[in-house]
Amino acid sequence: MSIGLLGIKIGMTQLFDDEGNAIPVTVLQVGPCIVTQIKTEKSNGYKVIQVGYSKSTVNKLTKPEIGHLNKYGIPPLKYLREYKVKPTQEFLIGQILTLDQLRVGNLVNISGLSIGKGFTGYQKRHHFSRGPMSHGSKNHRQPGSIGAGTTPGRVFPGKKMAGRMGGKKVTVKNLQIFDINIENNIIILKGAVPGKNGNIISIYKK
């Protein structure tokens, strides 16, 4: 069964395996999550389960969110996400999802919001090569030509230019689970996870 859980990125560190090799790992705090809604093809046209995470207060939610959660007797939750699951019969509204279904060695996909870099230029954003740095050169970090002249007389959409970098949803696939601490809802993954410390992340089982 595919599983979808929400959590928070705690940070990165390194651990050592049995052979003494230093392995870069990311520490996540995942769950517990609550099933807040089950959508079926008959009622909604598609099969998903809605999962809530991180208890909040009523004054931080909108009235539709409060009414939606009160309908099923669920406490206020800060984050709500939908996950596609084929056998929806295995879930119940109000069911608590934890790390019990994950095992050391499993491969998971992690989605999160990448770190925003602000407005950046061509070299940093698209790895353009710079111009000559010799005396008299007026093309150190400029983009150069961005298109033809009279024909077509415009810049094509999607042209790589300066602009905002980062701050987008990024998914890293096939990260291996290095260790799990079910009591504290901690999971340790090999490699890096998108986003800065404290960001909300989504974890999908392969």
Each of the 206 residues of the chain gets a pLDDT tens digit; together they read 466 899 999 999 999 988 889 999 999 999 889 998 888 888 888 888 899 998 888 888 889 989 988 988 888 999 999 888 877 777 888 888 888 888 888 899 999 999 999 999 999 999 999 999 999 998 898 888 888 888 888 999 999 999 999 999 999 999 999 999 988 999 999 999 999 999 999 998 76
Q: What's the token pair of residue 10?
A: 């705690």
Are residues 58 and 133 both part of a single domain? no
57 domain-assigned: yes
pTM of the model: 0.79
Are residues 30 and 122 both part of a single domain? no
Are the C-beta atoms of 188 and 179 separated by less than 8 Å? Answer: yes
Q: Which residues contact 167 (CB under 8 A, 6 or more apart)?
A: 113, 114, 115, 116, 117
User: CA 47 to CA 156: how far, in whole Å?
Assistant: 39
Are residues 126 and 136 both part of a single domain? yes
Structurally, the chain folds into a number of domains equal to 2
Range of the structural domain that residue 26 is part of: 4-117+169-205
Which run of H or of E encompasses 172? strand 169-181
Q: How far is CA 101 from CA 5, 187, 195, 204, in A?
A: 11, 12, 25, 11
Are residues 41 and 104 both part of a single domain? yes
151 domain-assigned: no
Are residues 8 and 35 both part of a single domain? yes
Residue 84: how many CB atoms within 10 A of its CB? 13
Are residues 85 and 127 both part of a single domain? no
Are residues 24 and 79 both part of a single domain? yes
Q: Which residues contact 64 (CB under 8 A, 6 or more apart)?
A: none
150 domain-assigned: no
pLDDT, residue 3, reads 67
Are the C-beta atoms of 5 and 180 separated by less than 8 Å? Answer: no
Quick one: 97 exposed, middle or buried, by C-beta within 10 A (0-12, 13-18, 19+)? buried
Are residues 69 and 122 both part of a single domain? no
Are residues 126 and 27 both part of a single domain? no
Are residues 108 and 126 both part of a single domain? no
Are the C-beta atoms of 84 and 160 separated by less than 8 Å? Answer: no
Which run of H or of E encompasses 190? strand 186-190
Q: What CATH number corresponds to the domain at position 188? A: 2.40.30.10
Are residues 87 and 9 both part of a single domain? yes
